[in-house]
Structure 1
């Protein structure tokens, strides 16, 4: 069943890509068939430009993510690879960090490179065991739709945002008012700008309904078709971290209960070791793992966790300066 759903998602994605390519082809044909008329050049360029803008783009790292060299963070790369192998996913080619983001993510960047992105504010305060739980949960939740299906979803997202989320632009409206005041009787009638904007937004909603339906269908096919693989990853993750551990860490991230004391300590000028020591002690009272651990031993010892902190010490010192910006 999963195979049939994946095939259906692939075929629907090819339809989306064919529609995108059709814009480029039609735009070029309009220019070629009417090369003597400037107006058709403009129309053709607009149509082809829409197609080019909708072409799928490779996913990129967030702008604030910093990739770490393997030579400078060998312990961090080591535990990232060991947990990935235990969960049954491809080990990351690159590990990156974000100073002011709590959540972690495992993503495909570009065409093939897999990157593990770790949020330093949470990583700083976790014990060795909790770090393994965080990595296992991050790998288990990762989704990889592939180049064709992922590209189709990104194209549909651009369509949806363009057609359904258009709002009036105050600056343009103000400029239109100034032009009308300058031109006087030569200006367009009052209310023209607002009227055209309303027509455009209404047309966008009408055209956006098929896009929404297409996107909804593709998302459902992708989720249903990958449910078996997701269950398998989650089952293997439970061999590394129990369901209770994963649930409690997820709740800790959602609630942000660890954040306020860390921010207060950073504002007081506490050092990184002091912040980590007090935060780890406080987290012991916030979680209740009950001694239940996964079946994979030796993924990260306390000594190795300390060596990771030494590798990241410079990044910690830089990151805590901005912890007050976190909400």
Structure 2
């Protein structure tokens, strides 16, 4: 049943995208067939513009994310690629770092570009096994069909906002009346501007009703297939990390208990190496209390993890200065 709901959501999303593309095709066809008429060009350009504006936008890299060159962090790129292949997703083309964000994301940026964004505060305190678990959990959330559905939802939201949230601009009616008086447009009935505005709002509500129904239908379909998607994510992540490791990582991120010791160490003036060693000691204590559960394949050794820390030392030094701003 959940698979059927996900398929239905994907089908509805494709219909939305096809409808958006139809504006561009129709506008281009009108211009091509009636190229000698100025009015046809105006209509065609309006339709093409609407289609282009409604096309889903490719995700952008967060403003505070800093891309890392492969030449400066080869070991980091190697482990991200190994884990990606083990999980079953395409390896990232770029790795970026964020100083004040705990979570990590795997973003599909369009044109075949995938960007792995790593939150440095959490990455700094994780052991080698925990880092693999973090990468596995981040990659497991990537969906090809999800980007199609998200794009359709954003298009429908834009339609809804455009059709239902419109209204008269402040002062526009008074300006219209003043222009009408100065130009001597005495033949124009009073209230024409307001009347046209009311007609536009009514038309927007009439056209907006199917958009609202379609948007709510798509949201319900997505929610109905959520359990199936969550199980698939967990299955992909289990190719690399155990359930205990993933649960431990989720708990660490959820309550943010790792952050207070790091912030206290920064206030004491501790170095990056001291903060890292303290974090590793706490991670080893957690593993010993959990009877030393083992990850599936060993995709990142302790030495390789330490090498990554050396590659990112400059980034760590800049990042810890702002750790106190994280809440």
TM-score by length of 2: 0.74
Query: What stretches of structure 2 of length at least 5 have no aligned partner?
Result: 183-191
Going from structure 1 to structure 2, the CA distance change for 1:167 and 1:255 (only over 3 Å counts) comes to: farther
SS in 2 for 1:67: strand
Deviates more, 1:309-318 or 1:139-148: 139-148
- Structure 1 position 98, deviation (Å): 1.5
Distance 1:66 1:203, change over 3 A: farther
Aligned partners of 1:24 and 1:52 also within 8 Å? yes
SS of 1:130 mapped into structure 2: helix
1:265 aligned residue: 265
Alignment correspondent of 1:317: 317
Question: Counterparts of 1:215 and 1:294 in 2: how far apart (Å)?
Answer: 44
The equivalent residue for 1:123 is: 123
CA distance in structure 1 between the aligned counterparts of 2:87 and 2:206, rounded to whole angstroms: 45
Q: How many residues align?
A: 322
Matches within 5 A, 1:1-327: 8-24=8-24, 46-145=46-145, 149=149, 151-163=151-163, 166=165, 173=170, 207-221=207-221, 231-282=231-282, 290-291=290-291, 293-327=293-327
Are the counterparts in 1 of residues 272 and 316 from structure 2 also a CA contact under 8 Å? Answer: yes
RMSD value, Cα: 4.4
Tell me if the contact between 2:100 and 2:121 (Cα under 8 Å) persists in the aligned partners. yes
Larger displacement relative to structure 2 (194-203 or 94-103): 194-203
Structure 1 unmatched runs, 5+: 187-191
The answer (yes or no) to whether the contact 1:84–1:90 under 8 Å persists in 2 is: yes
Deviation at 1:167, TM superposition (A): 8.9
Identify the range of structure 1 (100-109 vs 46-55) with the bigger mean alpha-carbon deviation.
46-55
Q: Which of structures 1 and 2 has the bigger CA Rg?
A: 2
The two structures have a TM-score, normalised by structure 1, of 0.74
**CA distances 1:112-156 after superposition (whole Å, capped 9, x unpaired):** 222221111110111222112211211222222277555434422
Cα 1:16–1:280 change in 2 (3 A) is same
The 8 Å contact of residues 245 and 289 in structure 1, kept in 2 or not, is answered as no
